[in-house]
């Protein structure tokens, strides 16, 4: 089991108590189900499942969410450590561990190898996560900025190459965790809503809003990073859902100041802010510090503040994170309720979740210890 910063462990312990060590141990393992969202604007779930099974992908329908399907992950398998190795960054290690091919941007350092060699891919901590067959030599890698380095031959876990399937390329599916899908559904977007997604990239919740409403909403999707905005635009194009959507590059913490006339006009706001992402599994020795977590907590609260200003009276705010800490979840929501004229909204408990009550907070948590879910937190708030 990897070691987390003491301050982070203490924040998790406020939620999980004596189960904290067991929880941290689960973070190194992926959930057994890989979830996908069916783009029901373009295909029915049954038809997509049929097509995938025709390709040998054993997709199954989720029992509760009508646009959700899942594929059962295989593994864990033992990955040998060969003489030739490539070290990759943490994000790449977590991706290659699940069966993805190896691309240049994640490569950090490597021994000498030739095209066609089998090479072990190592995480930053030296853990073998996959064996790839290289399509270039190590000398060629030195001159590359992007591009394929190796084909995954053996990985710790194995899932179909979703992004290489025609159904993905043609916009029939979107890779998204089940809790993230459920969060958007709890917001209940309806025709003619004016919805602002303050942290929209890579577009999961925004595209889901369009899907749920048949594009009959006014949607403003914001991110401060231009590359992410451009990537989000590509996703809307791939899914053919880019209707009534404005994608804006902006720091949404200052949205009420930078977009005149927005205050008290928005029906619903989505906040899925940058977080410590400790609920995203599998993890390979996260490097985030306790100080980072507290900085993120304060950063996240700024989005709650601006949301409380732009949403109309009786309007809704969806706050969700893919992390496990008390500070980024319960603490932030409690401060919002007490200081921002907001109140919690209690809904029928979503499938696979745990209901949370902490002070005035009512929220819903997904846990690696319950139903083998990723870690995820959802709170729905209403402006008084």
Any idea which residues carry the catalytic annotation? 322
Whole-number Å distance between alpha carbons of 276 and 294: 10
* Whole-angstrom distance, CA of residue 258 vs CA of residue 311: 15
Q: State the Cα–Cα distance between residues 177 and 368, nearest whole angstrom.
A: 13
CA distance 28 to 221: 32
- Count how many residues are written for the chain: 384
Contacts of 77 (CB under 8 A, 6+ apart): 154, 155, 156, 157, 158
Distance from C-alpha of 331 to C-alpha of 63, rounded to nearest angstrom: 32
CB 178 within 8 A of CB 35: yes
8-state DSSP, 329: I
Residue 202 host element (H or E):
none
R_g of the chain, CA atoms, integer Å: 21
Report whether 20 contacts 9 (CB < 8 A). yes
Report CA-CA distances (Å) from 194 to 184, 237, 265: 14, 21, 8
Nearest to 272 by CA among 211, 213, 349, 195: 195
User: Cβ–Cβ contacts within 10 Å for residue 97, how many?
Assistant: 27
Output the CA torsion sign for 208, 212, 216, 220: negative
Q: Using DSSP, state whether 343 is helix, strand or coil.
A: strand
**Residue 104: other Cβ atoms inside 10 A:** 16
- From CA 281, how far away is CA 373, in angstroms rounded? 9
């Amino acid at each position: 089991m990897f070691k987390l910063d003491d301050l982070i462990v203490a924040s998790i312990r406020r939620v999980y108590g004596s189960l904290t060590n067991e929880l941290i141990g689960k973070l190194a393992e992926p959930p057994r189900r890989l979830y996908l969202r069916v783009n029901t604007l373009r295909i029915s779930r049954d038809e997509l499942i049929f097509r995938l099974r025709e390709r040998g992908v054993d997709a199954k329908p989720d029992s509760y969410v009508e646009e959700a399907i899942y594929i059962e992950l295989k593994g864990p398998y033992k990955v040998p450590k060969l003489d030739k190795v490539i070290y990759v960054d943490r994000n790449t290690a977590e991706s290659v561990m699940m069966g993805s091919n190896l691309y240049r941007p994640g490569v950090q350092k490597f021994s000498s190898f030739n095209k066609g060699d089998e090479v072990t891919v190592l995480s930053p901590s030296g853990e073998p996560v996959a064996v790839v067959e290289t399509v270039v030599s190590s000398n060629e890698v030195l001159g590359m900025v992007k591009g394929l380095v190796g084909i995954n031959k053996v990985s710790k876990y194995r899932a179909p190459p979703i992004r290489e399937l025609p159904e993905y390329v043609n916009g029939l599916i979107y890779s998204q965790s089940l809790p993230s899908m459920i969060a958007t559904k709890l917001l209940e977007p309806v025709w003619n809503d004016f919805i602002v997604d303050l942290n929209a990239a890579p577009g999961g919740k925004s595209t889901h809003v369009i899907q749920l409403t048949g594009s009959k909403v006014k949607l403003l999707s914001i991110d401060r990073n231009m590359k992410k905005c451009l990537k989000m635009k590509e996703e809307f194009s791939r899914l053919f859902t880019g209707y009534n959507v404005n994608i804006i590059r902006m720091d949404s913490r200052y949205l009420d100041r930078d977009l005149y006339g927005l205050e008290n006009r928005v029906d619903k706001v989505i906040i899925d802010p940058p977080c410590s992402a400790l609920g995203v599994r599998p993890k390979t020795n996260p490097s985030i510090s306790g100080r980072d977590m507290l900085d993120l907590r304060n950063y996240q609260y700024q989005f709650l503040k601006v949301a409380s200003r732009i949403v109309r009276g009786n309007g809704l705010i969806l706050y969700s994170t893919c992390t496990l800490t008390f500070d980024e979840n319960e603490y932030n929501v409690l401060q919002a309720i007490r200081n921002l004229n907001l109140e919690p909204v209690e809904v029928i408990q979503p499938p696979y979740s745990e209901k949370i009550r902490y002070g005035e907070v009512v929220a819903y948590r997904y846990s690696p210890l319950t139903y083998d879910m990723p870690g995820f937190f959802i709170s729905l708030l209403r402006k008084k």
